[in-house]
């Protein structure tokens, strides 16, 4: 347990010192940007090592696509996809691993294999056993805002706050330490393009939770709509969105392109704070 706590605590301390970059490793056939590229275990391991070598602070492993319209998979399928990857990476990678799942069974297995964090895109509100799993493992936790359907009539920050309040109450009842929690406004999940932009623009309104904020805007399609003639989000658009989020108070960035974000955030941090990280 001590090596686990040491890795978890060092990761959490970074969030209060400088921008933290989370590299994405999707071991799925249907993720929106990199689906099918890393199904082979050696390809997945190689990519994870590249994410770490490029400066990533943590690698987020996901075994189920959560893009709009993706077919859900069972816990058994998800476990087959993630277990060999997490087991190998947790024992060999220089940076920690998080598991991107909303299933308590998958989270429990990944944590047992050496992951230090759970990235739950339903913020403890989909699987009633998830909070207890996270609490028992003393894992770090990303609580992400989500909605089953888009509703253009809602006030998005109010909706995000209501969701976070419910999730934080669940976490408190389960005994999850508040010091272990990261909030994610869920860019690209259950929101219109306008609501995604508003959530990023008004990110500072979530700072009163006094918890680190993660932004996952990488390559999201709504960014492409902001650039004339671009149907898809470009790397430059993603970096611009993440720098805007950093200015709004985000501490952590979930990205596909680690090296480019590390470079951009180093420049931003140095200019903004007057010191290199």
Pairing between β-strand 58-62 and β-strand 181-184 as defined by DSSP bridges: unpaired
- Give the global pTM: 0.94
Instruction: Give the CATH number for residue 171.
Output: 3.20.20.20
The reported pLDDT for the residue numbered 31 is 46
- Residue pair 100/61 in contact (Cβ under 8 Å)? The answer is yes
- Residue pair 265/61 in contact (Cβ under 8 Å)? The answer is no
**Catalytic site residue from 8, 254, 266, 272:** 254
Is residue 73 in a domain? no
The reported pLDDT for the residue numbered 248 is 97
Number of domains in the chain: 1
254 included as an active-site residue: yes
Low-confidence ranges of the chain (pLDDT < 50): 30-35
Q: How many CA atoms lie within 13 A of 175 on its CB side?
A: 7
Is residue 134 in a domain? yes
13 included as an active-site residue: no
The reported pLDDT for the residue numbered 32 is 45
Token readout for 197 is 């932009």
**Catalytic site residue from 7, 14, 103, 220:** 220
The reported pLDDT for the residue numbered 68 is 67
């Amino acid at each position: 347990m001590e090596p686990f706590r040491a890795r978890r605590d060092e990761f959490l301390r970074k969030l209060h010192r400088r921008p933290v970059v989370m590299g994405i490793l999707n071991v799925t056939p249907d993720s929106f940007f990199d689906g099918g590229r890393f199904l082979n275990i050696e390809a997945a391991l190689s990519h994870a090592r590249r994410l770490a070598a490029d400066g990533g602070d943590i690698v987020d492993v996901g075994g189920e696509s959560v893009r709009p319209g993706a077919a859900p998979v069972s816990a058994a399928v998800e476990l087959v996809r993630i277990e060999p990857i997490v087991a190998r990476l947790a024992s060999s990678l220089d940076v920690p691993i998080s598991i991107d799942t909303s299933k308590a069974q998958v989270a429990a297995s990944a944590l047992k294999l050496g992951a230090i964090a759970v990235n739950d895109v339903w913020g403890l509100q989909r699987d009633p056993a998830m909070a207890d799993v996270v609490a028992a493992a003393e894992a770090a936790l990303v609580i992400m805002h989500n909605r089953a359907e888009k509703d253009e009539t809602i006030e998005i920050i109010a909706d995000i706050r209501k969701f976070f309040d419910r999730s934080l109450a669940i976490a408190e009842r389960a005994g999850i330490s508040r010091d272990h929690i990261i909030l994610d406004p869920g860019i690209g999940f259950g929101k219109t393009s306008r609501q995604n932009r508003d959530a990023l623009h008004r990110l500072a309104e979530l700072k009163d939770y006094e918890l680190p904020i993660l932004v996952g805007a990488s390559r999201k399609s709504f960014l492409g709509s902001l650039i004339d003639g671009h149907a898809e989000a470009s790397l430059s658009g993603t970096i611009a969105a993440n720098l805007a989020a950093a200015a709004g108070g985000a501490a952590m960035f979930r990205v596909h392109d680690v090296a480019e974000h590390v470079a951009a955030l180093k420049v931003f941090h140095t200019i903004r704070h007057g010191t290199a990280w």
